Structures are given as structure tokens and as C-alpha cells.
Amino acid sequence: MEVIIRPTAAAAADLVATLIDRAVRQRPDLVLGLATGRTMEAVYALLAERHRTQGLDFSGCRTFNLDEYVGLPPGDPNAYRYYMERHLFGRINIDRRRTHLPDGMAADLDAACAAYEQAIADAGGIDFQLLGIGHDGHIGFNEPLSALRSRTRVKALTPQTVAANAPLFDPPTRMPRRAITMGVGTILDSRRCVLLATGASKADILARAVEGPITAMVSASALQLHPRCTIVVDEAAAAHLQGRDYYRFIFDNEPEWKAFH
Ligand code: F6R
């Protein structure tokens, strides 16, 4: 695991967009794992901008989103399919048949989860997984006590997650209480993962995930087991990290990061 601290949320999102940009240019048939949420909006805006002005080409990519609410059709303004269309897919040149989200409307949800795992395997696995982190430490919707080896399945959301996301629904009580999410094990199988966290409200949970013990109580702490995981944060989200000076030293001195200075 490596931690990169940028001065602002905008600079952190820019660095993540650049990592994705490079990965897509290096491998035009990249299999991208995608996240939703407020934090990612800045990243997708930058990717759309790079597509428009710098020829960033997504036509060969395939995408798999981490999660989708149970019971919301794709056209619902709160569905993650709708979010992706609005923030990214509708603004870049990606073939919709190559974009995948779990089917929260399936009559047989367990079968839909198994089919999602199979589709990821058939694509050859996820090359680059983008992640955010919830205030309860979730990645995807892997709420506390998610098994560290869990696969795609239906998960009940915590009151904390409902409180964080319900204001986005009209009325807030319309928010589903369950979602389909890739498992922690599914995420750990990705070849590279990048977690973006910004803002002071993420500082406490981020420190627990990065520097605390690996525990199913904080799903993001499982990323300590990932062979190639980069955590990108702004100063506000980095505030509770004990190793800040060391992380800054790495960013300032490792050749890999020179181009970002
Ligand atoms: C959603 C997802 C979640 C979010 C997390 C942070 O697809 O994967 O884990 O990344 O809830 O959300 P924001 O960015 O809204 O704080």
C-alpha cells in the first residue's frame, strides 16, 4: 500500500484521473472497475474533459461498477447506472454493451450476483479498480463485518450509510436498504486498485483503514492485503495519518511520482 497526499481535493482527483488516463493509454482494452459517490464526480469530470480535449479513447475499455441499489431500475435518477450515464458514460466514447453494473432489479438476485462474478472472470479480471471509502469504512457497499473473502452479493446497508445517502433521494425514505456489491474478495482480486478519499469527514476512518489493524469491522483495511494499492488523499483526509511525513517523502523522492510534481 502507498499513500499519496495532495494539497487539495481537486489536486487529488487530478492525480487519480491521470493514473486512469495512463492506464487506458497503455492498455486500450483495459478492464476498469468503477465507483460512484460524490468523491468520484470530480474524477469523471476530468476524464470526460480529457476525452474531449486530449483524445482519451475509451472505445476498447470494459467497465464493471462496484455496486447498485436493489429495486431501482437503471433509469431511476438515484440508480448507479443513471449516475454513471450522467457523469461518465454519456460524456465519453464507451460502448454501453461493454459497461456493466449489478442488476438490482433481477428476480433472482443471487443468480444475478453469480452472473456478475462470471462476467468479471470472462473479461479476464479487473485491471484497475477505482474505490471510494464510506464513513463506516465500506468499499463498494461492503459494510462492517463483510467477510474479507466475500464475493458479489446482496448486502444490507448500515444506518450510517443510509444517513449519508438518503438526502440524495426524494423523499429520503425512498432510499433502498439493500444493494448488490462486489465482495471484498472480488476487489482484492483486481490487479491494481486506487482509493480516493477527500475531506475532513474521511480523516478518522481513513487512518483506521490504512494504519489500523486489518479487520472485517473496517472493510477498507483489507486493502492492506492488496499487492498494488494506492491511496490518494487530500490534506484534510490525511489529517489523522501518523505516517504523513514518510508518505510525503516517498511522493517527493520516488521516480514514479516525479511527473506529478
Ligand atoms: C459507491 C461506492 C461507495 C462510495 C463511498 C463514498 O459505488 O463504492 O463505497 O465510494 O460510499 O461515497 P462518497 O464519495 O459519496 O463519500
pLDDT(9) > 90: yes
pLDDT(261) > 90: no
CA-derived radius of gyration, the chain? 17
**C-beta of 137 in contact with ligand 1 (< 6 A):** no
- The overall average pLDDT reported for the chain is 97
Query: In sequence order, what are the beta bridge partners of 69?
Result: 179
3-state DSSP assignment of residue 59: coil
Neighbour tally for 227: CB within 10 Å: 10
Spatial distance between the Cα atoms of 32 and 66, rounded to a whole number of angstroms: 10
pLDDT above 90 coverage of the chain, percent: 98
Question: Ligand 1: which atom is nearest the Cα of residue 34?
Answer: 7
Our answer to whether residue 254 is catalytic in this structure is no
**C-beta of 139 in contact with ligand 1 (< 6 A):** yes
Write down the pLDDT at residue 199.
Answer: 98
Query: In sequence order, what are the beta bridge partners of 234?
Result: 6
- Confidence band, pLDDT 50/70/90 cuts, at residue 119: very high
Our answer to whether residue 143 is catalytic in this structure is yes
Q: Is the pTM here over 0.85, yes or no?
A: yes
For residues 100-124, give the mean pLDDT.
98
